């Protein structure tokens, strides 16, 4: 079994686990986006993943991602790029419409800088707001108690499209122990959807 087929087998296994989990809670697997974290991996591995059916990739270094985006374009690969790391303010000018989604909006200052870049570039930046769901000092994100006030401040900024929430929960010994954190994030999402983004079709995604 070569490397390509091995990856394809692993990817199929992950998709089957997603399908099983969705069936358990009455959801369609089509509602779930599988994001492959491709940071630090060479473009050849991304091509391997794409050949196996993977389309969405996450990077956390702007320049690395831009280089990979150029390679994908030169090979006519229709990949979707996510920026998943902390974005420094001085790197915002590197953002372009080639990014499918920015994970990690955690301040009004960053929101306005991203929006300014988007308006200048003639595109709308799609973002997920990062929630510090465990109120950990070591992690970025908006505290749950401050979330709604933050959303009210940034929801109408021109050039910015807030499409959901994301969080990195506290480290736990067993995966199942993370469920309460994601349940809380889900509750915050639906509250925001009903109270702040009522009628806004764009605010319909949640990343966990």
Structural domains of the chain, count: 1
Evaluate whether residue 38 is within a structural domain.
Answer: no
CA distance readout (Å), 181 to 88, 109, 171, 208? 27, 27, 11, 10
Kindly give the confidence (pLDDT) of every residue in the chain, 208 residues in length, as a single tens digit, with 9 standing for 90 and above. 455 568 899 999 999 999 999 999 899 999 999 999 999 999 999 999 999 999 999 999 999 999 999 999 999 999 999 999 888 777 888 888 889 999 999 999 999 999 999 999 999 999 999 999 999 999 999 999 999 999 999 999 999 999 999 999 998 888 888 899 999 999 999 999 877 775 555 544 444 4
**Which of 72, 83, 168, 73 shows the shortest CA–CA distance to 117?**
83
Give the pLDDT score at 9: 92
Give the pLDDT score at 68: 96
Evaluate whether residue 16 is within a structural domain.
Answer: no
Give the pLDDT score at 176: 83
Longest C-alpha distance within the chain, in Å?
A: 54
Evaluate whether residue 40 is within a structural domain.
Answer: no
Evaluate whether residue 81 is within a structural domain.
Answer: no
Q: What is the CATH number of the domain that holds 160?
A: 3.20.20.10
The residue segments making up the domain with residue 126 are 90-208
Give the pLDDT score at 166: 94
Contact between residue 73 and residue 93 where contact means Cβ atoms under 8 Å apart: no
Q: Would you give the DSSP letter of residue 79?
A: -
Give the pLDDT score at 208: 40
Please indicate, yes or no, whether the overall pTM of this predicted structure exceeds 0.75. yes
Evaluate whether residue 3 is within a structural domain.
Answer: no
Give the pLDDT score at 154: 93
Give the pLDDT score at 36: 95
Evaluate whether residue 36 is within a structural domain.
Answer: no
Evaluate whether residue 162 is within a structural domain.
Answer: yes
The phi and psi torsions of 105 (rounded to 5 degrees) equal: -70, 120
Give the pLDDT score at 73: 95
Evaluate whether residue 42 is within a structural domain.
Answer: no
Contact between residue 131 and residue 107 where contact means Cβ atoms under 8 Å apart: no
Measured in Å, how far apart are the chain's first and last C-alpha atoms? 33
């Amino acid at each position: 079994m070569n490397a390509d087929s091995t990856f394809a087998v692993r990817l199929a296994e992950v998709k089957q686990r997603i399908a099983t989990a969705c069936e358990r809670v009455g959801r369609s697997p089509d509602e779930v986006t599988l994001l492959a974290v491709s940071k630090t991996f060479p473009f050849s591995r991304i091509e391997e993943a794409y050949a196996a059916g993977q389309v969405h990739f996450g990077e956390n270094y702007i320049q690395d991602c831009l280089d990979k985006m150029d390679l994908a374009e030169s090979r006519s690969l229709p990949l979707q790029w996510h920026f998943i790391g902390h974005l420094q303010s001085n790197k915002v000018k590197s953002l372009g419409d080639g990014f499918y989604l920015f994970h990690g909006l955690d301040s009004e200052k960053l929101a306005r800088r991203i929006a300014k870049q988007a308006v200048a570039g003639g595109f709308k930046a799609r973002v997920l707001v990062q929630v510090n769901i465990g109120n950990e000092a070591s992690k970025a994100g908006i505290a749950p108690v401050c979330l709604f006030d933050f959303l009210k401040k940034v929801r109408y900024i021109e050039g910015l499209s807030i499409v959901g929430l994301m969080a990195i929960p506290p480290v736990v010994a067993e995966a199942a122990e993370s469920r309460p954190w994601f349940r809380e994030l889900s509750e915050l999402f639906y509250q925001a959807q009903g109270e702040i983004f009522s009628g806004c079709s764009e605010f319909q995604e949640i990343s966990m």
